[in-house]
Amino acid sequence: MNDFDLIRKNLFRRKLRAILMIVSILVAFMIFGVLTGFYRAFTSGEDQAAADRMITVNKINFTQPMPIAYFNRVKAVEGVKQVTFANWFGGYYQDPKNFLMTLAVEPASYFSLYSREFILPPDQLQAFIRERTSAVVGEKMAEKWGWKVGDRVPISSNIFTQKNGGQSWDVTIAGIVKAGTEQVDTNFMLFQYAYFDETRTIAKDTIGWLILQTNAPADNDRVAKTIDAMFANSSAETSTDTEKAFGKAFAAQFGNIALIVLLVVGAAFVTILMIVGNTMALTIRERTREIGVLKTLGFPGPRILKLVLGESVLLALLGGIPGLVIAALIARTLRNSVANMAPSFAVSPEIALLGLVLMLALGLITGIIPALNAMRLKIAAALGRG
Amino acid sequence: MRSLLLQVAAVTSINLKSLPQRRWLSLSTVVAVALVVVVLLAFLAMANGFQRTIAGSGAADIAIVLRAGSQAEINSTVSRDQVRLIEDGPGIAKGSDGKPLLSPELYLVVDGLKRTTMTKANLPLRGIGEQGAALRKGITISAGRMFSRGANEIVVGKALVREFAGFDLGSTVAFGATRWTVVGIFEAAGNVFESEIWADLPVVQSLFNRNNIVQTVRVALTSPAALNELKAFNDADPRLKLDVKSEAAYFAEQASQTSDLIQKLGWPLAIAMAFGALAGALNTMYSSVAARAVEIATLRAIGFGGFPAFVGTLVESLTLAAIGGVLGAAATYLAFDGLTASTLGGNFTQVVFDFKLSPALMGQGVGLALIVGLIGGLFPALRAARMPIIAGLYA
């Protein structure tokens, strides 16, 4: 019988107690996996932000429009490699509850700038550029509504009114966009700005924001200052920032999500730490006599330390790993329903790794005091006490 | 019957008095249950505070007119012609000068800096008509004065001043190229208007290039019932095509989405954590029964029944859970009640609200704790009741 067998047999000597411990550890790691997964997805905009990409918005607030003339003026700024722009549409399909993340864009420059993130077959891109009333949808959105290339769908806006008095625009689907990297969310629709601008009744010739790519991240600061200085004292002053900083500021608006996540995960862990720690102490105290026997047989102190710590670590792993697996399953099930707020919600490898580290820590912390006590135990006292 | 009750009382008091012997294990159950309650109540207090701030903002005898399908003020547009048509609608209260009491309003989003994090946040700038302030109940200027008509002056809600930097009385604020002076601070009984900035409608329209366009019209109704008359009038005129709803209904809709979301997050989390705490409680109680095996067997041997042993164990478990529940509720009250927070509301702007713990919510927290105590005590109690006397005596 090797040490591992000993550890395993010790752990399951009281089956019910071991199972209870495992369940509570499982719950803690399930909460940890789901919440950190959600948190990561929520802030993933920051991670996928390219270092050389910047966003120019109206200085008053990013929901205020800017003249479309800014597009060409920014394009001419030295250090700017390419520029595109977008306008928020406030889209929905048939019922306002069916929110569609829809942007009006200039097709060629938009896909050129996001060539790494969005994959669209060249013939579909050409069709999108050619047909004024065409649109492309992300894979996820197409799947959700069962849309195929060539379908004609009416999309409504909760902001804009059509020239013909209605609130809906008819678009033909010219292509389906695939994600270029894991983090990219494809729950969106893009349609032609030219068609949108011509048919809307308010805010004509304005755009929502500009996205620009600089020659190198080192140019970012200078480019931002040049652009903002160019429009200073005009009727629409601008604010240019890196994509990352912009995303971060936006996420911060929802309130202190990081704090809430930390609070809940922390509370769950403290609870479990206490329960498991106490039980380990109890278990070892019950076995005092037995440890005395082991020592009498010649087991050295460090080996006993190893046995006890091994038991608590095994307990943590037995509960923690299934907990993370369940968290991954939950994330997969919920993925679509939270896609608007937190795209690519998943228990990523990094989270799993962090989870493993936490399991080891949990095992060591809960086991260390009983293990030290067991190691230091005097044989005479142990045998006498039992 | 009487003797059974006496037995129950005796065993229960023995159990409770022996609690200090199992001090650490019992304490860990108490703290575990308390943490579960803290997490649940923190979420519920957040949802409740948000709900109260927004839902408390609406009146039943004020109608709000928006573009059909727009859902929130920020998405709506109403033309000047439509405003004129509404002015002639039925059911609208008249002022002393005989004019209808209404306020066309323009709702814009501007940037502010949050004091705690110094990050940018979306703040609402509302251009209001002459009657704008009068159409909202409980508005008082607590410092300074109301803006003058036609001037670049703003008045700012108390909650907004508290949460966001740069809006103190007398300071100058720049929105794009234009500068505005803060001339007054207003209170609005803690409701959502306290998170807003108000200015004169024509000034806002011209400085933001929104001439002739407003987003909503607020109308004072002669009575809450007059809403239907106004609705019928709107539906009958093809030029209007607007949504008419009571302000109370509008805000109730706005509040429900976010507070639902918070609650839907809070309960599953609390229940998941409760399972963890349940494992702890079961463990504690089984240990308690094991530790008292000799005692229980002795009592049985001298004629006590199984039922008192059952009740005694269950009461011990419920006591620990109740202590945990009350501790958790008290801790949440001390740590979270009244805490100010802000988040994006239905209009894509920051809503400042306070965490608000009500007795009913505390009841829910203690209720969850007692459920943990009940289930955690039930099985160990059954074991205590069924323990064979001989085995117990030899334990």
- What does the pLDDT look like over A166-206, one tens digit per residue? 889 999 999 999 998 877 888 899 999 999 999 998 889 99
Helix (H/G/I), strand (E/B), else coil: B56: coil
Lowest-confidence segment of A71-85, A151-165, A274-288, B77-91 by average pLDDT: A274-288
pLDDT digits (tens, 9 = 90+) for B26-76: 898 999 999 999 999 999 999 999 999 998 888 999 999 998 888 889 889
Measured between CA atoms, the residue of chain B closest to residue A15 is B283
- In chain B, which residue's Cα lies nearest the Cα of A234? B177
For the residues A61-80, what does the mean pLDDT come to? 94
Question: Is residue B264 predicted with pLDDT exceeding 90?
Answer: no
Q: Do B177 and A21 touch (CB under 8 A)?
A: no
Using the predicted structure, report yes or no on whether residue A215 has a pLDDT greater than 80.
Answer: yes
Whether A233 and B42 lie within 8 Å, measured CB to CB: no
Residue B129's pLDDT band, with cuts at 50, 70 and 90, is very high
Which chain A residue shows the shortest CA-CA distance from B346?
A254
pLDDT at residue B233 tops 70:
yes
CA nearest A25 in B: which residue? B276
pLDDT of residue A221: 93
List, in sequence order, the alpha helices (H) in B77-213: 80-87, 158-163, 201-207
Whole-number pLDDT of residue B254? 86
The per-residue pLDDT for A336 is: 67
Q: What is the mean pLDDT of residues B86-103?
A: 92
Per-residue model confidence as pLDDT tens digits over A95-120: 888 889 999 999 999 999 999 899 99
pLDDT tens-digit profile of B320-338?
A: 999 999 999 999 999 999 9
Task: Give CA–CA dist A292/A351, Å, rounded.
Answer: 41
Q: What is the mean pLDDT of residues B148-175?
A: 95
- Percent of all residues in chain B with a pLDDT value above 70, rounded to a whole number: 100
Q: Which pLDDT tens digit goes with each residue over A305-350?
A: 999 999 999 999 999 999 999 999 998 888 766 666 666 788 889 9
Mean pLDDT, range B125-137, rounded to an integer: 93
| Chain A environment of B209 (Cβ under 8 Å) | 235
Mean pLDDT over the full length of chain A? 89
Q: What is the mean pLDDT of chain B?
A: 91
- A386 band by pLDDT with thresholds 50, 70 and 90: very low
Highest mean pLDDT among B57-71, B271-285, B318-332, B377-391: B318-332
Higher pLDDT among residues A10 and A228, named by residue: A228
Tell me what the mean pLDDT of segment A34-42 comes to. 85
pLDDT of residue A385: 60
Best interface-test mutation with A: which of B33, B35, B113 has the largest number of A CBs within 10 A? B35
Give A-chain residues touching B344 at CB under 8 angstroms.
253-255
Output the pLDDT for position A138.
95
Q: How confident is the model at residue A1 (pLDDT cuts 50, 70, 90)?
A: low
Measured between beta carbons, which residues in chain B are less than 8 angstroms from residue A233? 177
With a cut of 90, say whether residue A89 has pLDDT above it. Answer: yes
User: How far does the CA of residue B101 sit from the closest CA of chain A (Å)?
Assistant: 27
Contact state of A275 with B283 under an 8 Å Cβ cutoff: yes
In this complex, the residue of A28, A60, A281 whose CB is nearest that of residue B111 is: A60
pTM of the model: 0.87
pLDDT digits (tens, 9 = 90+) for A340-384: 666 678 888 999 999 999 999 999 999 998 888 888 888 888 887
Residues of B in contact with A30 (CB under 8 A): 272
Distances (CA, A) of A302 to A59, A192, A364, A373: 65, 72, 15, 11
The pLDDT-based confidence of A301 (bands split at 50, 70, 90) is confident
Instruction: Summarize the confidence of residues A143-157 as an average pLDDT.
Output: 94
